Amino acid sequence: MYKFLLIAALLPAIVFGQTPFRACSGGRPTPASLNIAGCSTLPCSIISGVPLVATAMGITTTVATPTVDAYITARLLGLDLGFQIPEDLQNACAVGITGASCPLAAGQTFDYTLNYSLVLPITGIVAQVEVGLTAADGSTITWSRYLRSVIELNQSVPTGKHKKASIAMYKFLLIAALLPAIVFGQTPFRACSGGRPTPASVNIVGCSALPCTITSGVPLTAIGIGIVSPVATPTLTAHLTARLLGLDVGFEIPEDLRDACAVGISGASCPIAAGQTFDYELNYAMELPLTGITVQVEVGLTAADGTPVTCIEIDATIVG
């Protein structure tokens, strides 16, 4: 099944302001451009229950496929809300694809339009929404990391459409009920040396007290909330350092996660102005050769001129 992730916008004037997006990890292909109606900067503002019209243009399939299936994933603080695209929109060959028709040949280029109302019972939140297309053999056609376009749900509009959405709503409500534990039971952290600035709060999924328990090779989701940049910068570079008994173990953040402008920040987009506030999410699996040890982990963002933008330190026990 071909995974093609995108969130885009359909406007007669599509040319006016394409919606920025981030490529997913692993070198997965992306469409040539994305447009979400009314959204030229992130986060996009979406009204719950009101149709979102999105178009991805210039999708080139790398394999031949007789079918293309669409899907939507919504996440809040890294937690999957269990949202599912309605059955009548799952067959992208029947609903959504233009410029070509199924079966698709390898190398064939087409566009895809999604016209759908996201209905979620809680508003005023920022959720990460991933929209994708999947080919019959599972290969990735195109993808934009959970659409790292951040979706802000501002206002609820009642609707009776799409009964399947109610299942997602129940799961959403369950997660929402747990939010006080996630948001208010924040992960404690230490400021880094040298007076480097810190975020207003930090949430590491599953960790409310130090040391955090981290399973080697299993993804860790950490979110820094309320980061205020002390300087204007066109770029933000992420770093991660692990120390054992004060000694740097030589751990380096992967190349595809270093550009925080492309992968990680939400609530703003680069370039960043001095005094601008944003959040940063790190979703990464640390793989260390030793387990049963407690290390000090430092995570931070640095401006183009080398100025520290934010930095935190935690203790983490590594388990196998």
For the cut 90, the answer to whether the pLDDT of residue 131 exceeds it is no
Query: What are 72-121's pLDDT values in tens digits?
Result: 877 665 566 666 788 888 899 999 899 999 999 999 999 998 887 766 65
Residue 5 pLDDT:
32
For the chain, the structural domain boundaries read: 4-175, 190-319
Q: First and final CA of the chain: distance in angstroms? A: 32
pLDDT at site 87: 85
Give me the pLDDT at residue 108, please: 93
Which tops the pLDDT comparison, 273 or 167?
A: 273
- Among 1-15, 164-178, 306-320, where is mean pLDDT lowest? 1-15
pLDDT at 89: 87
Confidence of residue 303 (pLDDT cuts 50, 70, 90): very high
Per-residue pLDDT tens for 16-68?
A: 348 877 665 556 677 888 888 888 776 777 777 777 788 888 999 988 999 99
The percentage of the chain sitting over the pLDDT mark of 90, rounded to a whole number, equals 36
Cα–Cα distance, 238 to 310 (Å, whole number): 10
Q: Please state, in angstroms and rounded to a whole number, the distance separating the CA atoms of residues 111 and 217.
A: 36
Local confidence band at 307 (pLDDT 50, 70, 90 cut-offs): very high
Q: Write down the pLDDT at residue 65.
A: 93
User: What is the C-alpha to C-alpha distance for residues 84 and 57, in angstroms, rounded to an integer?
Assistant: 23
DSSP annotation of 18: P
Q: Is the pLDDT of residue 122 over 70?
A: no
- Strand 52-60: give its sheet, edge to edge: 33-36, 52-60, 109-116, 97-98
Which token pair is 111?
């566009």
Beta strands (DSSP E) in the chain are: 4-5, 33-36, 44-48, 52-60, 68-76, 79-80, 97-98, 109-116, 125-135, 150-156, 190-191, 201-204, 212-215, 219-228, 236-244, 247-248, 265-266, 277-285, 293-303, 308-319
* Residue 151, helix vs strand vs coil: strand
Domain 4-175: assigned CATH number: 2.60.40.770
- Asked if residue 65 lies in contact with residue 2, where contact means CB atoms within 8 angstroms, the answer is yes
| CA 283 to mean position of chain CA atoms | 9
The residue among 290 and 3 whose pLDDT is bigger is 290
Reduced to 3 states (helix: H, G, I; strand: E, B; else coil), residue 231 is coil
Mean per-residue pLDDT for 179-196? 72
* C-alpha distance from residue 168 to each of 53, 121, 171 (Å): 21, 10, 5
> What is the reported pLDDT for 10?
29
pLDDT at 317 over 50: yes
Taking the C-alpha atoms of residue 83 and residue 114, their distance in angstroms, rounded to an integer, is: 16
Q: Say which residue, 230 or 163, is predicted with more confidence.
A: 230
Residue, of 211 and 249, whose pLDDT is higher: 211
**3.40.630.30, 2.60.40.770, 1.10.3720.10, 3.30.470.20: CATH of 190-319:** 2.60.40.770
**Quick one: pLDDT at residue 126?**
66
Q: 174 pLDDT band (50/70/90 cuts)?
A: very low
pLDDT value at 195 more than 90? yes
Q: What is the mean pLDDT of the chain?
A: 77
Q: DSSP for 167-214, please give it.
A: HHHHHHHHHHHHHIIIIISPPP-EEPGGG----SEEEETTBSSSSEEE
Task: Return d(Cα 83, Cα 92) in angstroms, integer.
Answer: 18
Tens-digit pLDDT profile for residues 216-234: 888 888 999 999 999 999 9
The predicted structure's pLDDT at residue 34: 84
